[in-house]
Chain A
Amino acid sequence: MAEDQQSKRFCSEKVGDGLINNLPDELICHILSFLLTKDACKTSVLSKRWKSLYTMAPNLHFELQNKKENNFVNAIFCRRTQNIKKLKIHRLKYSQTDHSNFDLWILKALDLDVMELDLKLVKYNGNIILPHKLFRSESLVVLKLGSPFKFQTLLSSFRPYLPSLKILHITLCIVSVLDIKDFIPLYELIYGCPHLEELGLEQYIGLDFLRFSLPFLKRLCLNYTEPLKPSTGYSEIIKFIKEKENLHKSQLLPFRSLHYLWIGITQYCNMDLIIRVLQKTPTLKVLVVQEKV
């Protein structure tokens, strides 16, 4: 920061000390929203003006490592009274005791009309239960569930409805045939997103996604990352899938707006199914097929 810089500034305009310090609050908040909330929070010590500036950043992003961090996430949420546009929580371990916190955070975000929700809770062997309110949110535009969520909590009498949802990414958890039979709630969920433009499914095997009627769907990504465990009735699963497919052969609905299709395949995948999908995507422009070993 030498005299060189000073003269440069004089050329453009007289802005006084600190070029960016004279930026409007909203611009600074915009920059802060690209940082982890933990880092954005540190800016509170910079100066009086910055003391609460970070609380206006519309995005919250947590990469949680351990339970101790729950407290400060709680603190952040308590202080929030305004708009949360985007909430992203990635956590390495989730246990039953975290459940109430987790619920609280999501509900608070929903109350504040969150538009984008990105949740990833890795390495958990139980049921992650999501609040029902989530599936009736009118503000949600993007929903990304990056861990295997079991959909048992979507009761058959409960109708998910996400009118603003444009992007949906889900990871399914398939351990047995029963899990595939549980897909009904998943179909209900997708049915409840009439304006969906992008759909991403992890572990899509066995899914009767062809039942989906999604007239606005532009992008479809089907990924398959983990092989089925042979010990848990693998052959049963394959048999079940084959039976279902024969049943629904004629009911393939075309994806009229689809122009991007990404498929990750393995040796267990049924190529017939994929071929039929391709036959029903007349507007397809980009096709990516990736093989997983």
Chain B
Amino acid sequence: MASSSSNLISLKTSDGTVFKVERALAKTMKTVQAIIEEADANIYMIPIHNVFSHHMDMIIDYYKLSVAGKSKEFSVEKLDNDELKDFLLAVHYLNMEDLFEVLTQAVADRLEKKSVGYVRKYFGIENDFTPEEYAAIRKKNDWAFKGDDIEPEEDEEKQEE
């Protein structure tokens, strides 16, 4: 279907949906671009693992906005934390520079001024410190915590500052 001379590239997402996208958009995905260049002239369909159709929808939205010079209008506010993480991973896999920066900034914005417990939950990090180790680290970087309204760490039965 998509030969090297056509302007559309077929991308197949993890959930089996096929998207026909413009070559220019495919070019912003360095991973895809590499696959195209390595394959023979007539590549039929490019599978993109880790990317779902709802991700592709958003990617296409972003692309359309940025082509129109309105990339600032792109918003991921409606995505919850996990959806944003998923999307970030998908874009990271596809190696799309601009969109990647936008998403990392969005993740950083969401983490700003949040408590330790919140961030742990967000990243799914397990606390592997002993209470003593934790207290030592916390004390060492105490200045970083000063001046903020930090609520006591949730899920931290181990200690309290």
Contacts and interface: CB of A to CB of B under 8 A. Distances in A.
Interface of A: 1, 5, 8, 11-13, 17-21, 23, 27, 30-32, 34-36, 38-39, 41-51, 65, 69, 71-72, 75
A50 B104 contact: no
Given A8-B82, A31-B107, A46-B127, 5 more contacts: A1-B124, A12-B50, A35-B112, A42-B119, A45-B141
When A and B form their complex, which 9 residue pairs have the shortest distance between CB atoms, in order from nearest? Answer: A18-B124, A34-B108, A41-B144, A72-B143, A20-B123, A47-B125, A38-B144, A31-B104, A48-B128
B92 to A, nearest CB: 7
Nearest to B52: A12
B15 A34 contact: no
B144 A42 contact: yes
A82 B86 CA distance: 31
A188 to B, nearest CB: 35
Contacts of A31: 104, 107-108, 111
B85 interface: yes
Interface of B: 14-15, 49-50, 52, 82, 85-86, 88-89, 92, 104-105, 107-109, 111-113, 116, 119-129, 134, 137-138, 140-141, 143-145, 147
Contacts of B129: 45, 47-48
Given A18-B123, A20-B124, A11 B107 contact: no
Given A27-B92, A31-B107, A69-B143, A18 B112 contact: no
Given A12-B14, A72-B143, A72-B144, A39 B113 contact: yes
A34 B103 CA distance: 11
Contacts of A44: 137, 140-141
A12 B15 CA distance: 9
B121 A39 contact: no
Given A17-B126, A35-B108, A42 B116 contact: yes
Contacts of A49: 125
Contacts of A5: 82
B91 to A, nearest CB: 11
Contacts of A50: 125
B128 A20 contact: no
A71 B143 contact: yes
Contacts of A46: 116, 119-120, 123, 125, 127
A43 B85 CA distance: 18
Contacts of A27: 92
A11 B144 contact: no
Contact of B121 (A1, A19, A36): A1
Contacts of A69: 143
A21 B125 contact: yes
Contacts of B116: 42, 45-46
A57 to B, nearest CB: 11
Contacts of B107: 31, 34
11 contacts: A17-B126, A27-B92, A34-B108, A35-B112, A36-B112, A39-B111, A39-B112, A46-B123, A47-B129, A48-B128, A72-B144
Contact of B124 (A13, A21, A30, A71): A21
B151 to A, nearest CB: 13
Contacts of A42: 116, 119, 141, 144-145
B128 A47 contact: yes
B54 to A, nearest CB: 11
